[in-house]
Structure 1
Amino acid sequence: MDHRHPHPAHLRQAGRQLAHPGRASRPRAWLVALAALLLWLCPALQGAQAQSWPGTVEAVRGDWHDTAPPATGWEAARTPDDWTRRWPGHDGVVWYRLRWDIEGAPQTQGLYIPFVMQAAVITVNGVELQRDDHLVEPLSRSWNRPRFVLLPAPVLHTGRNELLIRVSGYHLYQPALGPVTIGPPGPQHAAWRDAWLTRQSLNWLSLGICATLGAFFIALWLMRRRETAYGWYGAQQAARFVFTANFVATSPWPFTHSDTWAAVVSIAYVLFHGCNAMFVLRFMGQRWPRREAVLWLLIGLLCAATLLAPHEQLRTMRNVMAWASSALLLAIAGVFVTLAWWRGGTLPQRLLSLTALASAAAMVNDLLVFTRIVDSNFYLAPYTDALSTVGIALTLAWTFVTNTRRIESFADELQHSVAAARADLAASLAHQHALALLHARLGERVNLAHDLHDGLGSMLIGHINTLERRHQPVQPTEVLDMLRGMRDDLRLIIDTAAAQQYGELMLADLLAPLRHRCSRLFELHGIDVHWQVAHIDRLHLSTTQSLDVLRILQEALTNVLKHSQATRVDVALVREDSHLVLSVRDNGIGLSDPSTRGSPGATGLHSMQARAQRLKAELRIHSSGRATEVRLRMPWPEPAASTDAGA
């Protein structure tokens, strides 16, 4: 609201959402703090009671731009004075003429006025001693700023003296002249200093608290959107900042008229109470969707009506806003106490609910002052703010200690859990390592079995077929050649195993001895072998890949030797586009369903398929009554050379 509206006193919930179940400061400490605060306030409350003016007081109405009081129309008055009781509806200027007598030689005096609503000029015996910056719109706002004026001895006269105070104001905002006291400068300045502390310094402190807490909790809400209580409390403090600025602002800036300022402050005041209600509900874990919707609908209607109200109706709207906000505060304080004390609230929540009751009591007093039921200009809200701040500080401190203890306990439990997990992981890794070694050994044995079958086994089968077909005795030199061939094949297995461990061999290097042995074997059986080898002399394959290619070739040639009854076989190992192609084609009788389990060549064909899969290659076997072709097509590895090698 504006000048004499109750100040919001709800800095009580800032840390509640951080509170956790547990023990906190005993209620006795809170009661002691409240009693100490009230004892501290007693001097300020007593200072608000002014002594009566030692002379006469008169008042007369004037216009906004008058520079001197009218000569007639003066009426007897008193201080403090609210001119709307004498001249209802008057907007403009009222001149106050205060006269008093000085006996003997005049001494320097001090003049103390707790408040002037709104702007004023102070003149003593025709000498201007103090003037506000703006006596018309945008009107200076001095309603909550105590004044101390030093009256030098040369300005005063022995006998009759005259103090003239020009006051500018609107009847909507309770224009008034506060109690005026005059006396020795020391006591008057002390009274002014105490009043400045309570009316200005505490409100500036409250503004700092609003800005700090608002920014802090909005930042928390932005980081944790689920904690909506943080967001509501930050919004509450933002609205409270705007309203509290009313107590220290000296002009309606950034607006150009006092009516706009009054409307904005009234809206901030009711928004403060709305956000406070939402915060309390969220802090207590409550959601009342329908009631909340009705609440914000009413708040929206009140705000719109305040903005659209004409000048004559603004005071009525301000009173409605004040009563509605006070009713909402009392209701939410009751809900807070009920939820905290009778619905299983935590101890910090219960203690902070007591500050809500203190704020509600202060609001009742301030509302009575605002509506003139109590003739005063002193509000209690700034002092209950201090109590709420203490409560929040204690709650945050207790929450910090509690959370720290929980974190320490959690850290200890986590250390034990991590140690146990490490032990379990070490055991699991050791078991997995043993299984991996076992699988590796089994894999090596399977690979060795395939190599022996495809290599040495093929050689044995070829030699057995040779011996079975011979009708004459085998010469020792032939048997020796057979044994040397098997030795060479066994050496190939050993060489490839060594290459896997110590380095790689070119495919061409591995192909040469196999080509030599197979050619001699096929010649013994009367089968013509034609080789076409190109672009592989610089081909880089891993040892395993090279061995897989050679074993597929060897198995295909063994099948020709065992089953085809062919007289010619064509072998090609060349590069086609971006692929390496291996082709073995014979002119024999073909294969009849060789993939059937138990059929001749089934084991070898399965081995060929497994090796092709490892090579990520495509293996096709095409068989007809006149010919059979085994064709392997695998991606060409990079980098690859393109040097030709023919046979």
Structure 2
Amino acid sequence: MPQQWSLLPAGLKQGQNEVLIRVIPNHIYTSGIGEIFIGNSSDINPLYERIWFKKRGVQIYTLIFELVLTILALLIWIFRPQEKAFGWYSICTFLWIIYLGKNLLLEPLMFLDAATMARINSIIFLLFAWTSCLYAWRFANKAYRSFEKLCWGMLVLGILLIILAPEKYLIYLLDASFIVGFSTYMINCLTFPIIAFKSKRIDAILLGGMMILIYFPLGIHDGWYMFKGDAILWSPYATPFTTIILVVIFALRLTDSLKHVELFNETLKTTIAETKAELLESIGKTHQLELKNAKLNERIQLAHDLHDGLGGSLVRSMSLVEQQKEKLNKDQVLSMLKHLRDDLRQIIDTSSCLNARYPENPIIWLAPIRHRFCQLFDELDIYITWNLPEKWLFDVDISDCFAYQRVIEEALTNVVKHSYATEVYISLKFDSNGVLRLYIIDNGVGFNINAVEQAGLSVGMRSIKSRMNKIQANFKISSESRKTELCITKKYLT
């Protein structure tokens, strides 16, 4: 026998707008707030648990799966910023989590009314639909710059309309925004497989297949019920399967990146080996060229030494022979030959004893040159003055000493050959700041320095410049009638 219940709204007395319901146990009734199940608790509890799982439990499990994928993609993007596909995927999935999470709310959020929540949900859904396109395109390594800028502009405009729209037009705007977002998502599910196939990437093709075979059918069903406001969705049931497929896609994407890195490393290793071989070959050729240059420089240096040393001795000997009015006797000829032998020995010593220690003081160092030229200058009535310090104030390399000797010999030889001088002044000074200064001055007829250099006639001057450049010393020469001055300076460490 059915029981009769009386449902009386609050604030009304008996008999006023009273609603009578005949209750039949274990029967389902439909009212304005949904289905009503009435029966014994033992019968209702299993039904309640099934409905709770269907309405809330499945969505909770879905959000857990989605959250795991979001965190995984976000971490990959943080550690590899160049993998922008994972960054956009994490943003897209996080927006979907927020959008679905509203169905689990039992109470409204603080300070937010129903209209504000509807605006927020609409904006989140639009962002989700757009970012689903971006992450899919990035998985295929595609970027449509101009089109994306246009879509961003339209999205910002739509969000502003949703925020600023009056409430009397809000319901129409929310429906329109849902249709736009849903259409964007579905069009992407249809078009992305084509983009993925053209990209020839396995991970993109797999994602495209999942979109067309899973997301698109589920989207049609869930989109219809979401538009009606019903929470019966099929996509949560597919989440475990799509999660496995997405993990495989992630693994393929990372594996492909690692393959590119390994291929780059292998190519780099091969390139380094080839470059090393080319470098060794180049070093070998460079070494051969250096040997040839060294031999050539030695020959040039030997030619300069012969010119400055032995050549100067020959000039002195010729000058002595010319000055002699009588025939030379045996001892005189032998003396000249000994001088030539000594000069030749000095040339040999210069080439083989560059690591030798210089003499104990400048006077002893220049004594052989003074001896040879003073005898000749006496015969030629040339007065020579030597101004030399009694000791070294700082260390001078033996190679520098030989270079200075050659400069002095060449300068004095030129005095004998060309200057017609009657006085010669030679000075060697050591400044307290570590500068060596060598002066050679004569009162000869002088010469045009520029003309001689342009004509290339002075082998001696070129030899002096070459020697001074080799030891990094400064060389200056000035000449006029009655005064020709040669100055050499070099800075040494004190």
* TM-score, normalised via structure 1 length: 0.63
Aligned partners of 1:474 and 1:251: how far apart in 2? 133
2:121 to 239, 262, 265: 265
* CA offset digits 1:240-264 (Å, max 9, x no partner): 3543443556666686555544433
Match of 2:428 in 1: 573
Aligned partners of 1:534 and 1:608: how far apart in 2? 23
2:416 to 551, 558, 561: 561
For the Cα contact (< 8 Å) 1:203–1:247, is it kept in 2?
no
Q: Say yes or no: does 1:209 pair with 2:93.
A: no
SS at match of 2:385: strand
Match of 2:136 in 1: 280
CA 1:98–1:494: 2 relative to 1, 3 Å: same
Aligned partners of 2:4 and 2:316: how far apart in 1? 142
SS at match of 1:500: coil
SS at match of 2:387: strand
* CA offset digits 1:31-68 (Å, max 9, x no partner): xxxxxxxxxxxxxxxxxxxxxxx988987767xxxxx9
Match of 2:370 in 1: 515
* CA offset digits 1:98-141 (Å, max 9, x no partner): 865x6xxxxxx56xxxxxxxxxxxxxxxxxxxxxxxxxxxxxxx
* CA offset digits 1:506-530 (Å, max 9, x no partner): 7836434333433343234321111
Q: Say yes or no: does 1:182 pair with 2:26.
A: no
Match of 2:80 in 1: 220
Aligned partners of 2:361 and 2:243: how far apart in 1? 85
Q: Say yes or no: does 1:622 pair with 2:478.
A: yes
Q: Say yes or no: does 1:240 pair with 2:240.
A: no
Match of 1:613 in 2: 469
Instruction: Report the Cα offset of residue 620 of structure 1.
Output: 2.9
CA 1:273–1:564: 2 relative to 1, 3 Å: same
Query: Residue type matched to 2:475 in 1?
Result: L
For the Cα contact (< 8 Å) 1:55–1:99, is it kept in 2?
no
1:587 to 443, 464, 472: 443
* CA offset digits 1:477-520 (Å, max 9, x no partner): 54454444444434443444444346666783643433343334
CA 1:624–1:300: 2 relative to 1, 3 Å: closer
Aligned partners of 2:89 and 2:211: how far apart in 1? 14
* CA offset digits 1:218-244 (Å, max 9, x no partner): 5533xx3xx655554454344335434
Match of 1:435 in 2: 289
CA 1:303–1:213: 2 relative to 1, 3 Å: same
1:470 to 316, 324, 332: 324
1:306 to 162, 173, 186: 162
Query: Residue type matched to 1:453 in 2?
Result: H
Match of 2:388 in 1: 533
Q: Could you say what the CA RMSD is over the residues aligned between the two structures, in angstroms? A: 4.0
Instruction: Report the Cα offset of residue 275 of structure 1.
Output: 1.9
Instruction: Report the Cα offset of residue 569 of structure 1.
Output: 0.3
SS at match of 1:377: coil
Aligned partners of 2:309 and 2:134: how far apart in 1? 84
* CA offset digits 1:518-546 (Å, max 9, x no partner): 33432343211112234971332333333
Match of 2:24 in 1: none
Q: Say yes or no: does 1:377 pair with 2:237.
A: no
Aligned partners of 2:456 and 2:174: how far apart in 1? 102
Instruction: Report the Cα offset of residue 454 of structure 1.
Output: 1.1
Aligned partners of 2:486 and 2:53: how far apart in 1? 109
* CA offset digits 1:441-465 (Å, max 9, x no partner): 2222221221222122212211221
Aligned partners of 1:70 and 1:467: how far apart in 2? 159
Query: Residue type matched to 1:458 in 2?
Result: G
Instruction: Report the Cα offset of residue 566 of structure 1.
Output: 1.5
For the Cα contact (< 8 Å) 2:29–2:36, is it kept in 1?
no
Query: Residue type matched to 2:74 in 1?
Result: G
Query: Residue type matched to 2:318 in 1?
Result: I
For the Cα contact (< 8 Å) 1:217–1:233, is it kept in 2?
no
1:451 to 286, 301, 305: 305
Q: Say yes or no: does 1:326 pair with 2:186.
A: no
SS at match of 2:44: strand
Aligned partners of 2:257 and 2:149: how far apart in 1? 35
CA 1:59–1:483: 2 relative to 1, 3 Å: farther
CA 1:537–1:293: 2 relative to 1, 3 Å: closer
- Which structure is higher in helix share? 2
Query: Residue type matched to 1:182 in 2?
Result: I
Match of 1:8 in 2: none
Question: Greater CA deviation, 494-503 or 432-441?
Answer: 494-503
For the Cα contact (< 8 Å) 2:126–2:181, is it kept in 1?
yes
For the Cα contact (< 8 Å) 1:218–1:230, is it kept in 2?
no
- Matched positions, count: 481
Aligned partners of 1:475 and 1:70: how far apart in 2? 166
For the Cα contact (< 8 Å) 1:57–1:97, is it kept in 2?
no
Match of 1:172 in 2: none
For the Cα contact (< 8 Å) 1:255–1:261, is it kept in 2?
no
Query: Residue type matched to 2:66 in 1?
Result: S
CA 1:448–1:563: 2 relative to 1, 3 Å: same
Q: Say yes or no: does 1:389 pair with 2:249.
A: no
Query: Residue type matched to 2:313 in 1?
Result: M
Aligned partners of 2:38 and 2:194: how far apart in 1? 57
* CA offset digits 1:398-432 (Å, max 9, x no partner): 44555666666666666666555544444443333
Instruction: Report the Cα offset of residue 270 of structure 1.
Output: 0.8
CA 1:399–1:299: 2 relative to 1, 3 Å: closer
For the Cα contact (< 8 Å) 2:67–2:97, is it kept in 1?
yes
CA 1:421–1:613: 2 relative to 1, 3 Å: closer
SS at match of 2:231: coil
What is the percent sequence identity of the aligned residues?
24
Q: Say yes or no: does 1:336 pair with 2:188.
A: no
CA 1:580–1:413: 2 relative to 1, 3 Å: closer
Instruction: Report the Cα offset of residue 347 of structure 1.
Output: 4.8
Q: Greater RCO between the two (CA within 8 Å, min separation 6)? A: 1
Aligned partners of 2:100 and 2:443: how far apart in 1? 105
Query: Residue type matched to 2:410 in 1?
Result: E
Instruction: Report the Cα offset of residue 311 of structure 1.
Output: 5.5
For the Cα contact (< 8 Å) 1:59–1:97, is it kept in 2?
no
